[in-house]
């Protein structure tokens, strides 16, 4: 894990990317995140803040097959507290419903346009200035 801790600590932008599995982040993503309890301890037990005053942001990119009304709620809530433990501000999320199989996105020009805009903001370093309220 040390190599991953070093990468996350060094990051100015962190993207958590996962499919929705049973209305939540994938277990693989969750396993990665769960090892960051040491960073929660750094912040809340040792009271050590990390890289404060720097513009560090974490964004969530999630896809799902269906269009359920509460499809992304658990993932967004979980990401909020994962970024909090890492001491990274939460930026904008990119949430993509209705994607089941490979190539499905090609038939979704609306979604592709949104993805392009999100990527553009990411490249310009302007994304996520207003964290989404949950």
| 64 forms part of the interface with ligand FMN (CB under 6 A) | yes
- List residues bridging with 25 in a β-sheet: 20
8, 20, 29, 33: which one contacts ligand FMN (CB under 6 A)?
20
The CB-of-100 to ligand FMN minimum distance in angstroms stands at 5
Q: Give 53 or 101: the residue with its C-beta nearer to ligand FMN.
A: 101
The least distance separating ligand FMN from the CB of residue 21, rounded to whole angstroms, comes to 4
Tell whether residue 106 is a contact of ligand FMN (CB under 6 A): no
* Cα–Cα distance measured from residue 24 to residue 41, given in angstroms and rounded to the nearest whole number: 24
Q: How far apart (Å, rounded) are the C-alpha atoms in residues 107 and 112?
A: 9
In terms of CB distance, is 11 or 65 closer to ligand FMN? 65
Cα 100 from Cα 20, distance rounded (Å): 11
Q: Residue 22 interacts with ligand FMN (CB under 6 A)?
A: yes
Beta carbon nearer to ligand FMN, 21 or 40: 21
Binding site for ligand FMN (CB under 6 A): 19-23, 63-66, 71, 99-100
């Amino acid at each position: 894990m040390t190599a991953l801790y070093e990468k996350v600590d060094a990051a100015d932008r962190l993207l958590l990317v996962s499919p929705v599995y049973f209305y939540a982040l994938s277990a693989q993503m969750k396993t990665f995140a769960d090892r960051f309890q040491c960073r929660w301890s750094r912040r809340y037990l040792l009271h050590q803040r990390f890289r404060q005053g720097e513009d560090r942001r974490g964004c969530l990119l999630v896809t799902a097959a269906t269009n359920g009304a509460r499809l992304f709620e658990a993932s967004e809530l979980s990401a909020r507290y994962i970024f909090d433990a890492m001491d990274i501000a939460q930026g904008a999320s990119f949430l993509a419903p209705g994607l089941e199989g490979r190539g499905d996105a090609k038939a979704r020009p609306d979604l592709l346009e949104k993805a392009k805009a999100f990527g553009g903001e990411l490249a310009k370093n302007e994304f996520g200035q207003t964290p989404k309220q949950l």
